[in-house]
C-alpha cells in the first residue's frame, strides 16, 4: 500500500487554475473535451481527499460558476 502524501493546500483556500481544466469525460452533463475552467479562473477548495491507489491529494475546487472540479496540485496555485 502506498502511503498518502500530505496535501499542500487546505479546505477554504482560494486557488486559481494554472492550466485550462478540460473535461476528461468524468464531469457529468458536459461533453468530453469541454473547457470546465480557463487558466486563471479563481475558486475555493471545498474538500481535500486522496486518490486511493496513488496516495495523491485531490482537491475539489468550486469555481465562480458554482462548478466543482477535482484538481491535482500541479493544476492549481494559491490565488
The domain spanning residue 59 has which CATH number? 2.30.30
Full domain range(s) for residue 35: 13-78
59 domain-assigned: yes
Query: Which sign, positive or negative, has the C-alpha torsion 28, 38, 17, 2?
Result: positive
4 domain-assigned: no
Mind listing the pLDDT tens digit of every residue in the chain (79 residues)?
678 889 999 999 999 999 999 999 999 989 999 999 999 999 999 999 999 889 999 999 999 889 999 999 999 999 9
51 domain-assigned: yes
Rounded Cα gap, residues 76 and 79, in angstroms:
9
23 domain-assigned: yes
43 domain-assigned: yes
pTM: 0.91
As for how many domains the chain has, the answer is 1
Amino acid at each position: 500500500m502506498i502511503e498518502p502524501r500530505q496535501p499542500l493546500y487546505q479546505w477554504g483556500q482560494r486557488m486559481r487554475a494554472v492550466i485550462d481544466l478540460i473535461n476528461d469525460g468524468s464531469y457529468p452533463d458536459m461533453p468530453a473535451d469541454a473547457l470546465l475552467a480557463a487558466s486563471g479562473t479563481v475558486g475555493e477548495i471545498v474538500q481535500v481527499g486522496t486518490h486511493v491507489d496513488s496516495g495523491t491529494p485531490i482537491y475539489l475546487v468550486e469555481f465562480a460558476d458554482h462548478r466543482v472540479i477535482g484538481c491535482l496540485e500541479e493544476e492549481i496555485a494559491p490565488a
